[in-house]
Chain A
Amino acid sequence: MDTQGLERIDDTAWRIPRDGAMHVPAILFADAALLAEMDEKVREQIRNVATLPGIVKAAWAMPDAHWGYGFPIGGVAAFDPAQGGVVSAGGVGFDISCGVRTLLTGLRREQVQAEAERLADALFGSIPAGVGSTGRIHLNDAAMDAMLEGGASWAVGRGYGWPEDLERIEENGRMEGARPDCVSAHAKKRQRDEIGTLGSGNHYLEVQHVAAIHDPRIAGAFGLREGDVVVSIHCGSRGLGHQIGTEFLREMALAAQEYGIHLPDRELACAPIDSPVGQRYLGAMRAGINCALANRQVITHLTREVFARIFPEAEPKLLYDVSHNTCKEETHDVDGQPRRLFVHRKGATRAFGPGHPSLPAVFRDTGQPVIIGGSMGTASYILAGTAESEARAFSSACHGAGRAMSRHQSRKRWQGRALVDELAGRGILIRSPSLRGVAEEAPGAYKDVSAVVQVADRAGLAKLVARLEPMITIKG
């Protein structure tokens, strides 16, 4: 991105001053190198977000921001219902509550290395992944509604996981205000046998080792030691979330005009928070969040079953579960006053700092774990929410690497089989039903996640705690 028209705030933040139809300024978090790589479209899109009614303080782009549809991926914006604020299906995205959770296996790298092939095959055999895969659970209408209301808590009630998992999930594993009646029959049908499936694209389950500790105090509190093995699961609300996103995007794009909202881009599809469509979307989207939480919970259970077979002594505990495509009602400080706002994070992770009242006791002194997934074959990171993140961007941080290259370019450049062999040579086992999918997800097709988390750390959005390196990746 060209720096023309940008005001440098410091070496990790840039401001697009308010002008034209913008209600607030837009702020981009990036150092000079990331900014230079950032798509021009991010500027256009984040400016557009700043024109939406009821936006508070600023429209923010995280260090991994890239061209999305409507909102950029890596966009954060909060709206006040008392100021005519909106809720936007385009501001959440199709994969509602897509997110990452990390399990602490309690095993050491050497132990897992000795059984790596067996573990990789067993995980690949047990975790449904890829196009057309179905889960073990078939939901009838009543069970579907119970899942949509209960989230991970529903899953634990059915024996998928442990009660102590719940406090280590945002919203304690269950999003309040979910309304299964606002979720269409089509969306429910798309989900009937998809609970407990990874999906495809950039979704994965990865066995990783802790390669470096950046903050020993917080790492200790999180239970992370160098050489430990963890499992990270990246997936979302599957077909149900996609269908909710699809339907409300269309409905809101058509309805915006009725509400007198001028959309510079139809994809910003939104409606007033207090409007009937806005309320129905919130009810459906929250049900979508529960679906994602239930999904990751069931996959956690399947993962534990596999570990129990190969490492009977292991009891993989949940570190935390974060979502990075959401709109949540939260209290934030605006000019010294607490206000209830609807915070959209699209490709952005919540990053509540130490002392935040919604965090469980275990994270009160450290801030919440912020889990940043890499791409296949590259590092992932654990960060922690900071106190200053509240003032920076209403407690928000980045979410991942972001693509640097399209799928098509990727496929032309890499062969799936060769990539699998090359990664195996580096001690990373890949298991996937599709070699073409592997080629499209080549590590080189993504931006350097390390640069993104460094900037997030320096900008005070979240604090760097540990680096994870992959051992086994199950790709959808």
Chain B
Amino acid sequence: MPWEHFQHMADIGIRGIGETPEEAFAEAALALTAVITDPAKVAPREAVPIEGKAPDREFLFLDWINALIYEMATRHMLFGRFEVTLDGNRLEARAWGEPVDRARHQPAVEIKGATLTELKVYRREDGQWVAQCVVDV
């Protein structure tokens, strides 16, 4: 599975796995949506651009997840498809989604923010990239 959740007692860890850091970032974003609802239920009707810049790749990942949390909160949207481009410690991305439909999405919980706990971006021994952190719900 290219994304997964990992256990943290009070909160939830999100992890994206991919051939490239970009893929790992995009998969982790799906894991983020999956905390709230089934990503397959989210129609990619509208694209939202997201940009970021950070001192290192881990903080860039933190900023990416926090940007998605902010866009979900202020636009009252959920996202189900992501396209990420990384250039050094810069990020350009688009997130596709639709407004929250409480009956259809049954959103379980709001996400407050991404934490530094278990924040890691690294390449595994099998060559796959991993991007992960715990999010506070």
Max count, chain B CB within 10 A of own CB: residue among A192, A201, A435: A201
- In the complex, the answer to whether A66 meets B10 with C-beta atoms within 8 Å is yes
- In the complex, the answer to whether B74 meets A190 with C-beta atoms within 8 Å is yes
Closest A residue by C-beta to B54:
A250
**A70 partner residues in chain B, CB cutoff 8 A:** 116-117
Does A283 interact with chain B (Cβ within 8 Å)?
no
**A402 partner residues in chain B, CB cutoff 8 A:** 10
Q: How far is the CB of B117 from chain A (nearest CB, A)?
A: 4
A321 to B74, CA, bound (A): 28
- In the complex, the answer to whether A434 meets B113 with C-beta atoms within 8 Å is no
Contact bitstring B12-39, A, C-beta under 8 A = 1, else 0: 1000000000000000000000011100
Does B115 interact with chain A (Cβ within 8 Å)?
yes
Closest B residue by C-beta to A403:
B10
A245 to B35, CA, bound (A): 20
Does B1 interact with chain A (Cβ within 8 Å)?
no
Does B51 interact with chain A (Cβ within 8 Å)?
no
Does A75 interact with chain B (Cβ within 8 Å)?
no
**B114 partner residues in chain A, CB cutoff 8 A:** 246
Size of the chain A interface, CB-CB below 8 angstroms: 48
**A476 partner residues in chain B, CB cutoff 8 A:** 110
Q: Which of B74, B108, B113 contacts A245 (CB 8 A)?
A: B113
- In the complex, the answer to whether A403 meets B9 with C-beta atoms within 8 Å is yes
Size of the chain B interface, CB-CB below 8 angstroms: 38
- In the complex, the answer to whether B116 meets A201 with C-beta atoms within 8 Å is no
Closest B residue by C-beta to A268:
B116
Does B123 interact with chain A (Cβ within 8 Å)?
no
- In the complex, the answer to whether B12 meets A95 with C-beta atoms within 8 Å is no
Q: Restricting to B72-129, which residues have a CB under 8 Å from any CB of A?
A: 73-74, 76, 99-100, 102, 106-110, 112-117, 119
Closest B residue by C-beta to A134:
B76
> Given contacts A39-B9, A201-B109, is CB(A132)–CB(B100) below 8 Å?
yes
Does A199 interact with chain B (Cβ within 8 Å)?
yes
Q: How many A-B residue pairs have CB under 8 A?
A: 122
A409 to B12, CA, bound (A): 11
- In the complex, the answer to whether B115 meets A69 with C-beta atoms within 8 Å is yes
- In the complex, the answer to whether A190 meets B70 with C-beta atoms within 8 Å is yes
- In the complex, the answer to whether B106 meets A94 with C-beta atoms within 8 Å is no
A276 to B117, CA, bound (A): 25
> Given contacts A69-B116, A440-B108, is CB(A434)–CB(B136) below 8 Å?
no
Q: How far is the CB of A429 from chain B (nearest CB, A)?
A: 19
- In the complex, the answer to whether B107 meets A131 with C-beta atoms within 8 Å is yes
Contact bitstring A246-276, B, C-beta under 8 A = 1, else 0: 1001100110000000000111010000000
**B42 partner residues in chain A, CB cutoff 8 A:** none
A70 to B115, CA, bound (A): 10
**B5 partner residues in chain A, CB cutoff 8 A:** 408
Does A407 interact with chain B (Cβ within 8 Å)?
yes
- In the complex, the answer to whether B73 meets A190 with C-beta atoms within 8 Å is yes
A254 to B74, CA, bound (A): 26
Question: What are the 9 tightest A-B residue pairs by CB atom distance, in nearest-first order?
Answer: A131-B107, A132-B100, A246-B113, A242-B112, A436-B108, A94-B112, A69-B117, A69-B115, A266-B116
Q: A239-B74, A250-B59 are in contact. List 20 more A-B contacts (CB 8 A).
A: A66-B9, A130-B107, A131-B36, A131-B100, A132-B107, A189-B74, A199-B110, A242-B73, A243-B70, A250-B62, A250-B66, A265-B116, A266-B119, A402-B10, A406-B9, A407-B108, A407-B137, A408-B5, A411-B108, A437-B107
- Residues of A that sit less than 8 Å from B by CB: 39, 66-70, 73, 93-95, 130-132, 134, 186, 189-190, 192, 199-201, 239, 242-243, 245-246, 249-250, 253-254, 265-267, 269, 402-403, 406-409, 411, 433-437, 440, 476
